[in-house]
Amino acid sequence: MTTGEPAVARRVHVSGTVQGVGFRPYVFRLAQTHGLAGWVCNGGDGVDIHIEGAGQALEQFLHVLPAEAPLAAEISALEVCQASPLALQSFVIRPSVRAAVPITRIAPDLAICEACLHELFDAVDRRHGYPFINCTDCGPRFSIVTALPYDRPNTTMAEWPLCSLCAAEYHDPANRRFHAQPVACPDCGPGYRLVRRDCQGRRPRWDSGDAIAMAADLLVRGAIVGVKGIGGYHLACDATNAAAVLTLRQRKVREEKPFALMVRDLEVARQLAVVTPLEEEALRSAARPIVLCTAAVPLIGVAPDNPEFGLMLPYAPLHHLLFASGAPPVMVMTSGNRSEEPIAFRDDDAEQRLCGIADALLVGERAIARRIDDSIVRATGAAPMILRRARGYAPGVVARIPSSRPILAVGGDLKNAVTLVIDGQAYCSQHIGNLEQHEALTAFRQTIAELLAMYGVNPEQLLVAHDRHPQYRSSLEARAMPAFAVAAVQHHQAHVASVLAERGELDREVIGVAFDGTGYGDDGTIWGGEFFAGSVREGFQRVAGLHPARLPGGDAAARMPVQAAAGFLAALETSNNGIDFTRPPFGFPSRFSRSQAVLSSGVRVFTTTSAGRLFDAVAALLGFVRPVTFEGQAAMWLEHLAGACNGGEELPVGVECGTLDWRPTLQALVDLRLGGVEPAELARRFHRALAEGIVRVAEVLAARHEVGELVLSGGVFQNVQLTRLVTSRAATRGLRVLTNLAVPANDGGLSLGQAALAAAALGRG
Ligand code: ZN
Ligand code: ZN
Ligand code: FE
């Protein structure tokens, strides 16, 4: 304070993602630059600043503050009010204040930054080769937080006291590790060790360098190694070693579902796949998701029957060290679990569950507070689309939903994720998984308990929203909660609402199209091909749908495309009676005839409008006659088949008032297939027919309800071919298409839509 100008002072309150992202040191440095005095501290609900000094410098400070904030920070509000100058002489960072109601966002886990990466491989740096290196710009956050506010004692690093050098960095506001909560070094921090299956019981020393070198060596020699990362254990092996990949499939009991790959760098990625600029951007983003890219070379067993690879770049320092120690440049990096179980993240659990799968475990000493899977992104459209929202994104705010009370939306039973709305901010949890599995259900309960505790929500104040399906685990759990009120939300309305909620367009009137596998309909039947009119604010009315089919065997039909085919074919005219579908070109197995018998018996036959099952039926007719080994497999197969062909007019499709009739489409498909037309061409023409049908139904509805926007959601619209066709055809009819971007179009986005509709219903009273 060298000027003679009288000092002025301001109190500033910053809310948003401002803890654990280097915000306080940033404020400190900014204050120093402008010659201002005062203090900054983490409050329970954001960051508080007292700033004083010369008026002009103070104005500049306030101007720059939001503009140059650290990359990982996200400011949702900045309140400035007058304050009295306290004649302070310097600027300091004060210890955190523990507020009664902590409402500060936790930042997601971030990939290692360039500065730390440089030090990691700098032979004279004291953190050279140290797998837990991090700073305020990078490293774990959500995966190590145990309570708020975000401070070292509230993380899984609490048990590692800082050495004098680390402490000096931690307390030096000019240092880039100033208040980096997970800061550590080889002298004071955790390490890694390698536990081999063949010497169980013996626990080697924590020697990161040795452990990583041995793991890399094992991987080169074709072994399967369990690798503890940020949000859990991966199972890794050399992706170019077919024997290793197939062994992993057998041991993990994962028949055909694609394995994700971690590649050493972008150059290696480009040798494997076509990587577009948008895909490169997604690959390099701090969230470091798995990005689906078109495969350019075959890798046996990695992604059977699938033209895409799920690629990711190394994100933990450990991954970089593994590659630098000679690990194979392309590694399978799949979740550490058996089959569809949730990923293992605790060491004892990993040793138990992975012991029959991995030849060795690379165990890190730092505990993981909660399981967080890798996120999955598709970046083929105009903007990246999130297919699985977890590490790097969760638990971020995905939308603003004004509500007079806190809302917890519990999602559905498959691909579960939950959403908590508090003070108008919708926090979406990480992907939790299939609640039919005990471990996922436990994680579901734990996630809810943690979210409520972290944000200081009293469960008795909650409005809890759940799916209308009375038998869903999530519905049963929701209704057992000690909530203020409980609301049931229709599945497909929630899908449509999720798109509008993430865009903040709660008042926009639209035609919403929800196509998926199954959801509980208002009439108790299985819906899955529905059209709605309305808005989130006023609610939706179902105004059209797919022509219904009778499905033999209920849920089992989802695993057997020929079973779905039997159901959909039964709705066609009797002219198909003479066709023997067990013979070429169809070659259906005997299950088809058994399904037909079930249909005529009428026992265990269910009415459905499921678009997912329609895709299954068509896939069966075009050659997918075996059972699926993972959800959505047949539909994905059909999409890829269609992608292999460009030509062909759309097959006929029936559009009547309120119905999209697929019967003419299916009949034409059968006739043309018998006539020798290639499956790829028919797959393409089926996609075109369905897109045309959707747009024609929507066009009529849009005119009737005087709206110009079409919302597409539900798992079926993860099909890029279909979504593109609908979007372009809708545009020619003056309709703008809105889709999910921030949350998945599949049931992973359901809870956001539930929360939005529940808030709106609450507002209507
Ligand atoms: Zn860093
Ligand atoms: Zn240290
Ligand atoms: Fe759904």
Q: Which position has the token pair 């994962």?
A: 254
- Measuring CA to CA, which residue among 220, 358, 288, 738 is closest to residue 514? 738
Interatomic CA distance for residues 413 and 751, integer angstroms: 11
- Measuring CA to CA, which residue among 758, 697, 311, 266 is closest to residue 513? 697
Expressed in angstroms and rounded, the spacing between residue 7 Cα and the centre of ligand 1 is 37
In contact, 184 and 157? CB cutoff 8 Å:
yes
Expressed in angstroms and rounded, the spacing between residue 318 Cα and the centre of ligand 2 is 18
Expressed in angstroms and rounded, the spacing between residue 18 Cα and the centre of ligand 1 is 17
Interatomic CA distance for residues 179 and 616, integer angstroms: 54
Expressed in angstroms and rounded, the spacing between residue 323 Cα and the centre of ligand 1 is 19
Expressed in angstroms and rounded, the spacing between residue 459 Cα and the centre of ligand 1 is 37
Is 619 a residue whose pLDDT tops 70?
A: yes
Q: In what order do the strands lie in the sheet with 46-53?
A: 74-83, 8-17, 46-53, 37-43, 91-93
Expressed in angstroms and rounded, the spacing between residue 26 Cα and the centre of ligand 1 is 15
Ion ligand 1 neighbours (CB, 5 A) are 113, 116, 135, 137-138
| Antiparallel, parallel or unpaired: β 260-263 and 273-274 | unpaired
Chain centroid to CA 621: 32
- Measuring CA to CA, which residue among 32, 59, 37, 33 is closest to residue 49? 37
| Antiparallel, parallel or unpaired: β 659-661 and 539-546 | parallel
- Show the DSSP H helices in 503-588 as ranges: 561-569
Q: Which ligand is nearest to the CA of 110?
A: 1
Residues 273-292: tens digit of each pLDDT: 999 999 999 999 999 999 99
Expressed in angstroms and rounded, the spacing between residue 106 Cα and the centre of ligand 3 is 28
- Measuring CA to CA, which residue among 351, 323, 361 is closest to residue 226? 361
Interatomic CA distance for residues 498 and 495, integer angstroms: 5
- Measuring CA to CA, which residue among 544, 445, 420 is closest to residue 492? 544
HEC string of 161-208? CCCHHHHHHHHCCCCCCCCCCCCCCCCCCCCEEEEEHHHCCCCCCCCH
139's enclosing H/E stretch is none
- Show the DSSP H helices in 526-646 as ranges: 561-569, 591-601, 611-621, 633-643
Q: Mind giving me the DSSP string for 635-669?
A: HHHHHHHHHT----PPPP-EEETTEEE-HHHHHHH
Interatomic CA distance for residues 378 and 384, integer angstroms: 6
Q: Which ligand is nearest to the CA of 746?
A: 3
Say if residue 401 is exposed, middle or buried (CB neighbours under 10 Å; 0-12, 13-18, 19+): buried
Is 628 a residue whose pLDDT tops 90?
A: yes
Interatomic CA distance for residues 646 and 551, integer angstroms: 32
The predicted pLDDT at position 97 comes to 60
Residues 172-197: tens digit of each pLDDT: 888 889 889 999 999 999 999 999 98
Q: Tokens standing for 620?
A: 């069966």
| Antiparallel, parallel or unpaired: β 425-428 and 397-400 | antiparallel
Q: Which letter, b or e, does each residue of 728-741 get, where b requires 16 or more Cβ atoms within 10 Å of its Cβ?
A: ebbeeeebebbbbb
User: Residue 647 — very low, low, confident or very high, per pLDDT cuts 50/70/90?
Assistant: confident
Ion ligand 3 neighbours (CB, 5 A) are 516, 519, 747
Is 81 a residue whose pLDDT tops 80?
A: yes
Interatomic CA distance for residues 514 and 527, integer angstroms: 9
Section 730-755 average pLDDT = 97
Residues 131-182: tens digit of each pLDDT: 999 998 899 999 999 887 788 999 999 999 999 999 999 998 888 898 899 9
| Antiparallel, parallel or unpaired: β 385-388 and 360-364 | unpaired
Give the count of beta carbons closer than 10 Å to the beta carbon of residue 577. 7
The predicted pLDDT at position 157 comes to 97
Section 460-485 average pLDDT = 96
Expressed in angstroms and rounded, the spacing between residue 521 Cα and the centre of ligand 3 is 11
Expressed in angstroms and rounded, the spacing between residue 753 Cα and the centre of ligand 3 is 11
Q: Tokens standing for 212?
A: 């990583």
pTM of the model: 0.91
Q: Which ligand is nearest to the CA of 115?
A: 1
Q: Mind giving me the DSSP string for 563-579?
A: HHHHHHHTTS-GGGGG-
Q: Which letter, b or e, does each residue of 684-698 get, where b requires 16 or more Cβ atoms within 10 Å of its Cβ?
A: bbbbbbbbbbbbbbb
3-state secondary structure of 11: strand
Section 452-471 average pLDDT = 93
In contact, 502 and 393? CB cutoff 8 Å:
no
Task: Tell me the pLDDT of the chain averaged across its residues.
Answer: 93
Section 649-653 average pLDDT = 96
Residues 565-582: tens digit of each pLDDT: 999 999 997 767 789 999
In contact, 469 and 408? CB cutoff 8 Å:
no
Interatomic CA distance for residues 464 and 156, integer angstroms: 30
In contact, 218 and 197? CB cutoff 8 Å:
no
Dihedral Cα 88, 91, 96, 97, nearest 10 deg: 30
In contact, 611 and 717? CB cutoff 8 Å:
no
Section 60-82 average pLDDT = 89
Is 341 a residue whose pLDDT tops 90?
A: no
HEC string of 94-120? CCCCCCCCCCCCCCCCECCCHHHHHHH
The angle formed by the CA atoms of residues 596, 600 and 602, to the nearest 5 degrees, is 115
| Antiparallel, parallel or unpaired: β 407-409 and 463-467 | parallel
Q: For the chain, how many helices (H) and strands (E)?
A: 21, 31
Is 615 a residue whose pLDDT tops 60?
A: yes
- Measuring CA to CA, which residue among 49, 159, 146 is closest to residue 102? 146
Find the length of the chain.
Answer: 765
Section 15-38 average pLDDT = 88
Ion ligand 2 neighbours (CB, 5 A) are 163, 166, 185, 187-188
Residues 253-271: tens digit of each pLDDT: 999 999 999 999 999 999 9
Interatomic CA distance for residues 691 and 688, integer angstroms: 5
The predicted pLDDT at position 44 comes to 64
Is 594 a residue whose pLDDT tops 60?
A: yes
The predicted pLDDT at position 101 comes to 43
Name the region of 275 (left: φ>0; alpha: ψ -120 to 50; beta: rest). Answer: beta
Q: Which ligand is nearest to the CA of 472?
A: 3
The predicted pLDDT at position 587 comes to 96
Is 229 a residue whose pLDDT tops 70?
A: yes
| Antiparallel, parallel or unpaired: β 407-409 and 419-422 | antiparallel
Expressed in angstroms and rounded, the spacing between residue 692 Cα and the centre of ligand 2 is 63
Section 691-711 average pLDDT = 97
Section 1-12 average pLDDT = 76
Give the count of beta carbons closer than 10 Å to the beta carbon of residue 124. 6
The predicted pLDDT at position 136 comes to 87
Is 365 a residue whose pLDDT tops 60?
A: yes
Q: Which ligand is nearest to the CA of 116?
A: 1
Residues 557-569: tens digit of each pLDDT: 889 999 999 999 9
Expressed in angstroms and rounded, the spacing between residue 297 Cα and the centre of ligand 3 is 34
In contact, 263 and 369? CB cutoff 8 Å:
no
Q: Tokens standing for 749?
A: 């986005």
Expressed in angstroms and rounded, the spacing between residue 518 Cα and the centre of ligand 3 is 6
User: Residue 4 — very low, low, confident or very high, per pLDDT cuts 50/70/90?
Assistant: low
Chain centroid to CA 513: 22
User: Residue 98 — very low, low, confident or very high, per pLDDT cuts 50/70/90?
Assistant: low
Section 676-682 average pLDDT = 97
Q: Which ligand is nearest to the CA of 516?
A: 3
Q: Which ligand is nearest to the CA of 745?
A: 3
Interatomic CA distance for residues 181 and 139, integer angstroms: 10
Q: Tokens standing for 191?
A: 């390490």
CA distances for 501 relative to 424, 494, 621, angstroms: 12, 10, 38
Expressed in angstroms and rounded, the spacing between residue 345 Cα and the centre of ligand 2 is 25
Expressed in angstroms and rounded, the spacing between residue 164 Cα and the centre of ligand 2 is 7
